[in-house]
A = this chain, B = another copy of it.
Amino acid sequence: MKAEIISVGTELLLGEIVDTSTPFIAQHLANLGIDVYFTATVGDNPERLATTIHRAAQRSDLVVLTGGLVPTEDDLTKKILAKVVQRPLVAEPESMTKIKTFYAETKRPQPIHADLMGEIIAGATVLPNEVGFAVGMLLTTEQCRYLVLPVPPTELQPMFEKEAEPRLAQLMQSGQVIKSRVMRFFGIGEPALEDCLHSLIAGQQNPTLATYAKQNEVTLRITASGSNEGTVVQLLDETEQQVLHLAGQYFYGYGDDNSLEQVVVHLLQRRQLTITAAESLTSGLFQSTLANVAGASQIFSGGFVTYAAAAKEQLVNVPVTTIAAHGVVSKETAIAMATGAQRQLQTDLAISFTGVAGPDELEGHPAGFFWIGLSLPDGRVLTKSFQFSGSRNAVRDYAVKSGLKLIYDQFQG
C-alpha cells in the first residue's frame, strides 16, 4: 500500500510550528508495512488544498490528511475533501450530542459553527476523539482511502493508535512482523561506514540497512520483516554478525537512546572500577560527560582541569622537567597527567587529554592533534595520539568520545 501525508495549515508554512505529526504518522505507517512516498504541507487555501488532494489520490492508495478540522475561518479540510470526493457532509449524532452537552454543562457560550466539528463525510467511518471535539474519519472511495485526523498531537496520537492503526492493520492483513535494531559506531564517518558495509547495503531487501550521521558518531538501523518474531530476530542476528565482521572495531552499543558515556559508565560499574581525569584540551568536558549518566558517582568522585602548564604541575604533579623536555602536547605529559591524577585520588583508572583545540597550532602541532593517556590498575599506561579536523568544540567532543572508546575497548567483553 502506498501512502501520502498532507498537513494543512498556513501556520506550518510560516514555520511557526514544527510538524511532529507527519513523522509520527510516517513511523507508524512504516511499522505497518505501508510505504510513504510523499508528504506535503499546504496552507489554508481551498484551491491549493483541492489540487494537492487530487494529485495525492491519483498516485497513492491511502491519503492521510491532518489539520483543518476546527471550524475557525481558515480551516477547511473536511469541506474541500467532501468536494473532491463529491459527497455531502452529514451530522454524526454522537459527536453532536457530546458538543452540545459540553457547552450546556460548562455554561460556556457555544462558538458559532462549533457543531461543524461533529460533521463527517457521508459514508465515512467515524474515528472518535477522546480528547477534543473534532472527529476523525476513515473514508474509502473507488479511487483511494482517506484518513482524516485532527492536528494537535494530544488528539491525533491516541486517535491514530487506538482508532486508525487497528483498522489499517486489518486492511494490510499481512500478519507480517517488522522489527528494527539500532547499532552505534564511533571512529568512522557515515560515508566510510557505508563503504565498509557496501556488500550488505547494495541489493538489500530484507533486512534493510540505513546509516545516520550523529555528532562524531554513526548509527545503523537494521529492519527486518517476516511471518513471525523468531524468523525476524534470526534475520537481525545474522545481519548483525555480518556487520560486526565488517565494522566490529567501531561498534560500541545498541539503541537510539544510548551513548558512549552510558556504555562506559555501566561497564565500569559492572567491573567496579573507579576513574578520575586530568583534562587540558577538553577542560572538564570528559568529566562533565561522565556525569551525564545518572549514577556516575558510583565510579567517579572528581578530578582535575589542568588547562595551563602551571596547573598540570600544581594539581597533578607533572614534573617541570617533563614539560620542558617534551612539551605540553606530548606522550610523556599525557602519561604524567594520568598517573598524577590517579595517585592524587587513588582511583583504579585515570585518563588524561592534552592537545591543540585550535584555531592556532601549539608547540608545532596542528589544531586537532591530541594525546590521550589511560592509566590502568596494574600500573601500565596506554597512550594514543589522534589528529582530527574541525572546530574547537568538534575537536573536544571527538577527544572525549575517543577517550571513552579507548576505555570501552580495554574493558568490554
Q: Which residues of A contact B (CB under 8 A)?
A: 10-20, 22-30, 36-43, 45, 48, 52, 70-74, 102, 105-109, 111-114, 131, 152, 189-192, 194-195, 201-202, 210-213, 221, 277, 279, 282-288, 290-292, 294, 296-297, 300-308, 310-312, 314-315, 344-345, 357-360, 366, 368, 387-389, 391-393, 396
Contacts and interface: CB of A to CB of B under 8 A. Distances in A.
21 contacts: A10-B210, A16-B27, A17-B23, A18-B18, A19-B23, A37-B42, A38-B40, A38-B43, A38-B52, A40-B41, A73-B201, A105-B387, A109-B192, A113-B191, A152-B213, A279-B284, A283-B290, A284-B305, A285-B285, A294-B357, A300-B308
List the 10 closest pairs (A to B, CB-CB), nearest first.
Answer: A284-B284, A302-B311, A15-B27, A15-B26, A283-B291, A301-B308, A111-B191, A284-B287, A15-B23, A285-B288
A211 to B, nearest CB: 7
Given A71-B191, A359-B294, A19 B19 contact: yes
A383 B274 CA distance: 32
Contacts of A74: 210
Given A73-B201, A297-B308, A106 B388 contact: yes
Given A38-B48, A302-B307, 14 more contacts: A11-B210, A14-B36, A15-B24, A15-B27, A37-B45, A39-B40, A105-B368, A109-B192, A112-B195, A282-B291, A284-B291, A302-B305, A304-B315, A311-B345
A11 B30 CA distance: 11
Contact of A20 (B10, B18, B389, B391): B18
A36 B13 contact: yes
Contacts of A194: 72-73, 111
**Which secondary structure dominates where chain A touches chain B?**
mixed
Contact of A105 (B287, B314, B366): B366
A155 to B, nearest CB: 11
Nearest to A194: B72
Copies of this chain in the oligomer: 2
Contacts of A391: 131
Nearest to A201: B73
Contacts of A73: 194, 201-202
B195 A111 contact: yes
A103 to B, nearest CB: 9
A369 to B, nearest CB: 10
A17 to B, nearest CB: 7
A207 to B, nearest CB: 14
A341 to B, nearest CB: 11
Contacts of A192: 108-109, 111
Contacts of A72: 190-191, 194, 211
B345 A314 contact: yes
A229 B192 CA distance: 49
A70 B212 CA distance: 11
Contacts of A40: 38-41
